[in-house]
Amino acid sequence: MDTMQTHELDAAAVAHLRQWEGRGEEMVDDIGAAPLCGLAATLDCDGPSPARGDAAAPLGHWLYFLPQARQSQMGPDGHPRRGGFLPPVPLPRRMWAGGRLHWESDNPLRVGDEVVRRSRVDSVAHKHGRSGEMVFVRVRHEVHNSHGLCLTEEQDIVYRAAAQAGEPSAVSTPARTGAPWQRQITPDPVLLFRYSALTFNGHRIHYDRAYATGEEGYPGLVVQGPLIATLLVDLARRQAPGRFVRRFEFRAVRPTFDLHPFCLNGEPAADGRSAKLWASDHEGGLTMQASVELA
């Protein structure tokens, strides 16, 4: 947990954070084959390894444009210290709460592309919920290759207050059952570590059990939200091979931990052009809901 004060944010502090609205950032990267090969192996995919000229897997762009803070700039939680492009929100718990993505079907990202990502902080909002105060930061990304726009993405990042002793767990919403598409995932520490390595994510809640349980108050290691989202898209691709993923939207409902297997679920629309997707825990509780549009 960051060594930061976590008192309630007053109006002046919120106004300071809102000064980040409209700030931009530009990053350049190359779509190399190695990260995509690593992702395919981590997802346990069949088929040939991605090669130069192949379209990158949906959400594969999350393996690029990675923050590379120096070791001396890392915080106690394994994240880079606050500040820079994103606002320095003084709340210790942070998570990727959801997002919306649109891919250009006539210009997919391909292995070998030189790409640029242009990012902007769209909004900073301060709210109070059942678990205390929260700050929501919405970020918009546009990824371009030499032919133009490849994809557009909005990310919702939420910052929360630290867990308090005796704080009740988030209320579980029962997930739908009997989905025609299903796949069970065992989120062992090796899977979590491999995905963290692919995304250069040092956040200790995903691999350091003593930190996750002792400092942040979780019952076990936290399964990465982007990993669950990627697995849901992969479920749709397994069930509809050869189809192009045009849109994807997801929202994290509650954390998933490495203590039990969880289930990926999908229900295609009658016309086969879209599907509802969701993840559920070992008790049947909804942990992530999503939708995908196929072309």
Does 5 map to a domain? no
Does 241 map to a domain? yes
Average pLDDT over residues 100-119: 97
Does 186 map to a domain? yes
Does 73 map to a domain? yes
pLDDT on residue 263: 98
Average pLDDT over residues 289-293: 98
Token code pair at residue 134? 């929260």
pLDDT at 166 exceeding the cut of 90: no
* Residue at 115: amino acid letter: V
- Measured distance CA(99)–CA(119) in Å, rounded: 14
What confidence tens digit (pLDDT) does each residue in 267-279 have? 999 999 999 999 9
- Measured distance CA(216)–CA(208) in Å, rounded: 11
The domain spanning residue 156 has which CATH number?
3.10.129.10
Does 93 map to a domain? yes
Does 1 map to a domain? no
Does 111 map to a domain? yes
Does 170 map to a domain? yes
Average pLDDT, the chain: 92
Which residues constitute the domain of residue 217?
A: 11-294
The count of structural domains within the chain is 1
Average pLDDT over residues 177-191: 97
Average pLDDT over residues 105-109: 96
Rounded to the nearest 10 degrees, the angle between the axes of helix 189-198 and helix 33-42 is 160
Enumerate the H helices of the chain as residue ranges. 11-18, 33-42, 189-198, 209-214, 225-239
pLDDT at 3 exceeding the cut of 60: no
